[in-house]
Amino acid sequence: MAYSIEELKEYLKKYNIKPSTIRLKILGFLLENRVHPTADDIYKYLIDSIPTLSRTSVYNALELFTDKGIVKPVSLNEKELRYDIKTDFHGHFKCEICGNIYDFPLQNQVYSEDFLEGFTIKDIHINYYGICKKCNQKIKLNKNKEEY
């Protein structure tokens, strides 16, 4: 869960990115907290440890990470983009109540290829929306309370 500076440097090196304090901290945050943060989430998290940090630098780093393929922007019908560290093919579930975003596994299968014959598929985003397990349980509990 916790990554050493050396590991983070090594990680960036693999993607041909020069390490800098900001980049290492953003990468560390992304790796250790798989929360699909917005640029602002990252900014707010880092501002304590880098008081001079600017939002621009966060955007710069995220753009670089995106270009180099470390990170993937996802838009979940919100106005802000979120950033997902690249891992296995997976889907996203966004809870409309708590706002949490859950990853869930996907077999590497496409829905129907027939129509897309001749198309080059470079990326697939599978986004589910609804109510997560936890929030469903809370709803159930409140209903029970009301009954007494």
Partner DNA sequence: CTAAATGCAAACGGTTTGCAATGCT
Partner DNA sequence: AGCATTGCAAACCGTTTGCATTTAG
Chain residues 60-99 in contact with a copy of itself, contact rule CB under 8 A: 73-78, 81, 91, 93, 96
- CB 27 → DNA: shortest distance, Å? 11
- CB 24 → a copy of itself: shortest distance, Å? 27
Nearer to DNA, 33 or 38 (CB): 38
Interface with DNA, residue 142, by CB under 7 A = no
Residue window 17-36: x/- pattern of binding to DNA, with contact defined by CB under 7 A: -x-xxxx-------------
Radius of gyration of the chain (CA): 19
Report the partner that residue 38 touches, choosing among a copy of itself, DNA, none (CB closer than 5 to 8 A by kind).
Answer: DNA
Contacts of residue 127, defined as CB under 8 A and 6 or more positions apart, other chains included, come to 74, 76, 77, 91, 92, 93, 94
Q: Which stretch binds DNA (CB under 7 A): 3-11, 49-57, 85-93, 108-116?
A: 49-57
User: Quick one: which of 39, 71, 95, 132 contacts DNA (CB under 7 A)?
Assistant: 39
